[in-house]
Structure 1
Amino acid sequence: MASPPGNDSGSTTRRSIQPIRRRSLLFGAAGLGAAGALGAAGCSRIPTGDTLARLKTQGTVRLGIAGEQPYGFVDKNGDFTGEAVELAKIIFKRLGIDHVQPVATDFGSLIPGLNSQQFDVVSAGMYINHDRCQQVIFADPEYQMLDAFIVRKGNPKNLHNYQDCYRAKAKFATGTAYAEIAYAVAAGYKEKDIVILQDQVAGLNAVETGRVDVFAGTSLTVREVVKKSHRAEGTKAFATTIDGKKKIDGGGFTFRRTDTSLRDAFNVQIHKMKKSGELFRVLQPFGFTKAEMTTLTAKELCA
Structure 2
Amino acid sequence: MDAIDERDRAGAGVPRRAFLGVALGGVVGAVAATTGCSRVDLTGEPNGGSLLSRLRDRGSVRIGFANEAPYSYLDKNAKLTGEAAAVAKVVFGRLGVPKIDPVPADFGALIAGLRAGLFDVVGAGMSITPSRCKAVLFTDPEFNASEAFLVPRGNPAGLMTMEDVARTNVRLGVLLGAVELDVALKSGVPESRIVRFADQPSAFDGIAGGRVDAVSLTSISLRWGLKQRPHLNLEVTPPYRPVIDGQEFIAAAGAFAVRPDQSKFVAAFNTQLHGLRDSGELLALQSPFGFTESDVPAPELTAEKVCQG
- TM above 0.5: yes
Structure 1 position 70 matched with structure 2 position 73: no
Q: Which of residues 287, 290, 293 in structure 1 aligns to 2:290?
A: 287
1:19 corresponding residue in structure 2? 14
Q: Percent same amino acid at aligned positions?
A: 38
Cα deviation, residue 20, structure 1: 5.8
Cα deviation, residue 17, structure 1: 8.5
- For 2:258, give the aligned amino acid: F
> 1:143 and 1:250, CA in 2 relative to 1: closer, same or farther beyond 3 A?
same
Q: 1:30-79 CA deviation, whole Å, 9 max, x = no partner?
A: xx9xxxxxxxxxxxxxx994211111111111101111111101223332
| Matched ranges for 1:34-113 at <5 A | 49-113=49-113
Cα deviation, residue 173, structure 1: 0.9
1:247 corresponding residue in structure 2? 249
Structure 1 position 258 matched with structure 2 position 261: yes
> 1:23 and 1:147, CA in 2 relative to 1: closer, same or farther beyond 3 A?
closer
Structure 1 position 270 matched with structure 2 position 270: no
1:226 corresponding residue in structure 2? 226
Contact 1:204 1:232 (8 Å CA) reproduced: no
Q: Distance in 2 between matches of 1:276 and 1:85?
A: 19
1:171 corresponding residue in structure 2? 171
1:153 corresponding residue in structure 2? 153
Q: Secondary structure at 1:253's aligned position in 2? A: strand
Q: Distance in 2 between matches of 1:190 and 1:86?
A: 38
> 1:147 and 1:229, CA in 2 relative to 1: closer, same or farther beyond 3 A?
farther
Q: Distance in 2 between matches of 1:102 and 1:24?
A: 15
Q: Secondary structure at 2:127's aligned position in 1? A: coil
Matched length: 271
Q: Distance in 1 between matches of 2:53 and 2:226?
A: 44
Q: Distance in 1 between matches of 2:156 and 2:304?
A: 40
- For 1:257, give the aligned amino acid: P
Contact 2:55 2:61 (8 Å CA) reproduced: yes
Q: 1:233-260 CA deviation, whole Å, 9 max, x = no partner?
A: 1111111111122223311111110111
Contact 2:176 2:198 (8 Å CA) reproduced: yes
The TM-score normalised by the length of structure 2 is 0.82
The TM-score normalised by the length of structure 1 is 0.84
- For 2:99, give the aligned amino acid: H
1:198 corresponding residue in structure 2? 198
Cα deviation, residue 122, structure 1: 0.5
Q: Distance in 2 between matches of 1:18 and 1:130?
A: 28
Moved more, 242-251 or 149-158: 242-251
Contact 2:12 2:75 (8 Å CA) reproduced: no
- Gaps of at least 5 residues in structure 1 are 1-15, 33-46
Q: Secondary structure at 1:173's aligned position in 2? A: strand
Contact 1:20 1:104 (8 Å CA) reproduced: no
Q: Distance in 2 between matches of 1:132 and 1:253?
A: 12
> 1:193 and 1:23, CA in 2 relative to 1: closer, same or farther beyond 3 A?
closer
Q: Distance in 2 between matches of 1:242 and 1:108?
A: 25
RMSD across aligned C-alpha pairs, in angstroms? 2.2
Q: Distance in 2 between matches of 1:17 and 1:186?
A: 33
Q: Distance in 1 between matches of 2:160 and 2:237?
A: 7
- For 2:161, give the aligned amino acid: N
Q: Which of residues 237, 240, 244 in structure 2 aligns to 1:238?
A: 240
Q: Secondary structure at 1:215's aligned position in 2? A: strand
- For 1:201, give the aligned amino acid: P
Q: Secondary structure at 1:52's aligned position in 2? A: helix
Contact 2:89 2:100 (8 Å CA) reproduced: yes
